Amino acid sequence: MAKPDPEVTNQTDAPPADALQGHWVERWLPAGWRPYARLSRLDRPIGTWLLLLPGWWAIALARPQDAPLDHWLILLFGIGALVMRGAGCTFNDIVDRDFDDKVERTRLRPIPSGQVSVTQAWIWLVLQSLIGFAVLIQMNGLAILLGVVSLGLVAIYPFMKRFTWWPQFFLGLAFNWGAVLGYAAVSGRLDWITLVLYLSGIVWTLGYDTIYALQDKEYDALIGVKSTARLFGGHARLWIAGFYDLTLLGLAIVGWMAGLGWPYWICLGIAALHFLWQVLTLKPDDSADCLAKFRANRDTGLILFAGFLLG
């Protein structure tokens, strides 16, 4: 691991405001490694889960009937999600470094706080990408091609908040590509059910990331960053409910197209109740509540994964 750059000032060892308290990154990692773990958001694992789960859905869905789950592929996707989410977050922090130091929630991220230089961040980005590539080449040719294509989605996302009120849509394109990749990795093909699953994941992301963006809407307005949270204003709860409804509709179509059994529909019903709880209890002006509701979507995704496994 590279030593801290002596030319970087204001170096601290403070975790960002939205890091999990008492996380193993802060308790167990040597001080010199922590900033790199923070760049990769290892102290905020919810993003890894949200990137991973659509891929796991697809792996479970694409199995031939009565075939066992491919545990090796599940593991590969787990490693791939961890390192590629880390690479994406590192790139995002490089691009957003001049914004992050103006926002309370992000000003202690490693680059704006001086814990890591931009050069060190680029090196860390390359190392993570190489691990991700080593994972990708374990899969079939179509999956490898789709994995390479996904890099374009990852690259454009950090710039979208400068040009469009819908950066959450572009995050959805990138975060749910695992559904396309997972289906191809198992079946060696793509079909209409892949598209419906992918679209369902995109509207899910529009819902949960709008909740996430509610935390920063005042700061975003001050520095000119766009988001669906700012666009929807006081109607955000209604829009989030609409996105979650579309997610459930899309997943119902997936279940119908795949001929999934009753356990899937029970899990889909539980997921619907979980979405309803999020919407009804959401406090749009309470940052802590918005973060908690955003993180709760890991449980929604796991419920749906259980449905794909059992259905």
Instruction: Count the neighbouring beta carbons within 10 Å of the beta carbon of residue 88.
Output: 28
DSSP per-residue letters across 15-57: PPTTSPTT-HHHHHS-TTTHHHHHHTTTT-THHHHHHHHHHHH
pLDDT tens-digit profile of 100-153? 777 777 777 888 888 889 999 999 999 999 999 999 999 999 999 999 999 999
DSSP 175: H
DSSP 260: -
Q: How far apart are CA 131 and CA 202, in angstroms?
A: 26
Each domain of the chain, given as residue ranges in start order, spans: 25-310
pLDDT tens-digit profile of 197-252? 999 999 999 999 999 999 988 877 878 889 999 999 999 999 999 999 999 999 99
* 28: confidence class by pLDDT, cuts 50, 70, 90: confident
- Superfamily of domain covering 25-310: UbiA prenyltransferase (1.10.357.140)
Give the chain's mean pLDDT.
Answer: 89
The pTM for the full model equals 0.88
Residue 3 confidence (pLDDT) above 50 = no
Q: How far apart are CA 225 and CA 217, in angstroms?
A: 9
Q: How far apart are CA 22 and CA 43, in angstroms?
A: 9
**Residue whose C-alpha is closest to residue 282's, from 210, 200, 228, 231:** 210
* 19: confidence class by pLDDT, cuts 50, 70, 90: low
Least confident of 8-17, 39-48, 184-193: 8-17
Q: Number of C-alpha atoms within 13 angstroms, CB side, residue 293?
A: 29
The phi and psi torsions of 63 (rounded to 5 degrees) equal: -60, 140
Q: What is the pLDDT of residue 22?
A: 66
Counting every residue, how long is the chain? 311
Tokens of 268: 């889909």
Residue 6 confidence (pLDDT) above 70 = no
